[in-house]
Amino acid sequence: MKKIRDIIRAAAPRAAESVSYGIPTFKIDGERFIYCAAFKHHVSLYPMTAAIRRTFADELKGYKTSTGTIQFPLDKPLPIGFVKRLVKARLAEMRSRSKT
């Protein structure tokens, strides 16, 4: 969980951290940007939009996903590079939305 939080902080240093729905949440300009949560057997990262899921479809094949969540099992090393790409993709979505 700490690694994921560190990755989010590095990618979005302006993001404010809070708790929403009982889990760590990062906001940019007051808008929720990304959530992360630790569970007994995995760490989750969300929201992963349809566009992000399409972009990373091949890399996501090895992980359990749902509509907006990807789960990283705790019994395997966290794929730091992949998590960075996911966070940066989500950040790019936020930036492009704010321009329109």
Domain containing residue 69: 2-78
User: Would you call 12 exposed, middle or buried from its count of C-beta atoms within 10 A (0-12, 13-18, 19+)?
Assistant: buried
| 91, part of any domain | no
| Residue 1, pLDDT score | 84
pLDDT at 100 over 60: no
| 53, part of any domain | yes
pLDDT at 94 over 80: yes
| Residue 99, pLDDT score | 66
Binning pLDDT at 50, 70 and 90, where does residue 77 land? Answer: very high
| 95, part of any domain | no
Per residue, the 3-state secondary structure of the chain, as one string, reads CHHHHHHHHHHCCCCEEEEECCEEEEEECCEEEEEEEECCCEEEEECCCHHHHHHCHHHHCCCEECCCCEEEECCCCCCHHHHHHHHHHHHHHHHHHHHC
Mean pLDDT over 87-99 rounds to 85
Binning pLDDT at 50, 70 and 90, where does residue 16 land? Answer: very high
Identify the CATH number of the domain in which residue 65 sits: 3.90.1150.200
Instruction: Give per-residue pLDDT as tens, 17-70.
Output: 999 888 999 998 888 889 999 999 999 999 889 999 999 999 999 899 988 999
